Amino acid sequence: MGNTSSTAVQKCLEAAVAGNGDLVAFKGSLFYQIAHVKAYNLDIPVTPAAITYPKSAEHVAAIVKCAADHSLKVQARSGGHSYANYGLGGQDDAIVVDLKNLQHFSMDKNTWQATIGAGTLLKDVTKRLHDNGKRAMAHGTCPQVGIGGHATIGGLGPTSRLWGSALDHVQEVEIVLANSSIVRASETQHTDIFWAVRGAAASFGVVTEFKKWQALIADPLLSRKFASQFVLTELGVIISGSFFGPQHEFDSLNISSRLPSAAESVIVLKDWLGVVGHWAEDLALELAGGIPSNFYAKSLAYTPDDIIPDAGVDKLFAYIDATPKGTPLWFVIWDLEGGAINDVAPDATAYGHRDALFYHQAYAVNLVGRVGDKTRAFLTGFNRVVLDALPGHELGSYAGYVDRALGEGGAESYWGLNLPRLGRIKRVVDPGDVFHNPQSVRPAKG
């Protein structure tokens, strides 16, 4: 932010908390990092534009409006125990809404329903419930975790096998929406919001982001010098891209404006070893360096005629939200392909997907044993939702993402119209099928 913009934001935020200077701290102020930012993971430095300490929902609403009016991101911090410092926005220059002053507690001793402020730490939740009728609820074991984040992301703990997760106890929430309105949501009012707030709110943004990414990569005029990837995980979304050309040429394409708004991170690499090294670094971070593990993967190949319609995208992400995965270690990668790959005729080599525009690979890991049926069913259902959204379309699979569940039919999915010719060649050079795996090409019959 420039000085003028920064000053305007400061004035707006100060007004949002009724001019109380103790309720807002700005980047650059004395002891800002130590006294206000207080990053939980010191390995990930993050500097928010401001930390605010609202005392009411009205304060929160005004802060959100300030941030929106100045195109800044907002992140609530309840206890601050985010491994990636997401309570600080996860990136520089967010507006943080620290909820520590929202400590309201009351107990209706007729219904035994408690009202708990979002800034209340679990140690205080435990004590206040006990002091007001010897009541208790399921939650995690760390006393410094805030209930606001804990009960909206899941909230698992030792009593969850008996009582469910913390969010299962939530019967109503007061929530400030992105348009700065304050609503109460429950099973009887604002039911969609209530459903989303209990564990899956992030996915609503994800749907929009995927639609924009898909629209970008489907553009037939998109420069071949641009490569991109859309990665969906349990924790959120990463959209990345590489451009093989000069900075000014990349800037002229205006690609960033066609993707969801976010702070850009641009790294300029001047030699090929640097590019490959950067990719290897990212891959190591995302996939733990290729350490052997128990995993399951499925893939699909999409042609330019296989763009998932908006309604199909909505169903796909609703499925992701609602379906048990059996593991927290899962991700889906959509990779842009096409370009020069598709210049080659489909029958010029055995590789048959010369019309593929992009692939997806859905992947899940179990670190403690075999992949369970629930995880396999999740990934199988994921592919089924995509196929149902594209009736009459034949989507293949990439042989590099071997899927044993396809059985012998996998060969056709991998090689398509090239499979008969492969079978004839196999009959000549390996009639005994010596070089065999469960999905390899079989010798053509007589």
Residue 388 carries which DSSP code?
A: H
Question: What are the residues whose beta carbons fall under 8 Å from the beta carbon of 442, sequence distance 6 or more?
Answer: 408, 411, 423, 426, 433
pTM above the 0.75 mark?
no
What CA–CA distance (Å, rounded) separates 315 from 318?
5
Vertex 17 angle, CA 176 and 129, to 5°:
60
Q: Are strands 172-176 and 50-52 parallel, antiparallel or unpaired?
A: unpaired
pLDDT by residue (tens digit) across 97-132? 898 999 989 998 899 988 988 888 888 888 888 889
**Domains of the chain and any CATH numbers:** 3-98 (3.30.43.10), 105-199 (3.30.465.10), 203-401 (3.40.462.20)
Predicted local distance difference test score (pLDDT) of residue 393: 92
Nearest of 173, 25, 27, 168 to residue 92 by alpha carbon: 27
What CA–CA distance (Å, rounded) separates 283 from 66?
38
Predicted local distance difference test score (pLDDT) of residue 379: 94
Residue 353 carries which DSSP code?
A: -
pLDDT by residue (tens digit) across 276-305? 344 444 543 344 334 556 788 889 989 999
Predicted local distance difference test score (pLDDT) of residue 77: 83
Give me the DSSP letters along 302-350: E-GGGPPPHHHHHHHHHHHHHS--S-S-EEEEEEE--GGGGGS-TTSSS
CB atoms within 10 A of CB 90: 17
Q: Which residues pair with 391 in a beta bridge?
A: none
**pLDDT classification of 80: cutoffs 50, 70, 90:** confident
Residue 269 carries which DSSP code?
A: -
State both tokens at 309: 């319609």
* Region of poorest pLDDT, from 70-84, 220-234, 317-331, 392-406: 70-84
Asked if residues 232 and 185 have their Cβ atoms less than 8 Å apart, the reply is no
φ and ψ at residue 162, rounded to 5 degrees: -95, -45
Asked if residues 273 and 279 have their Cβ atoms less than 8 Å apart, the reply is no
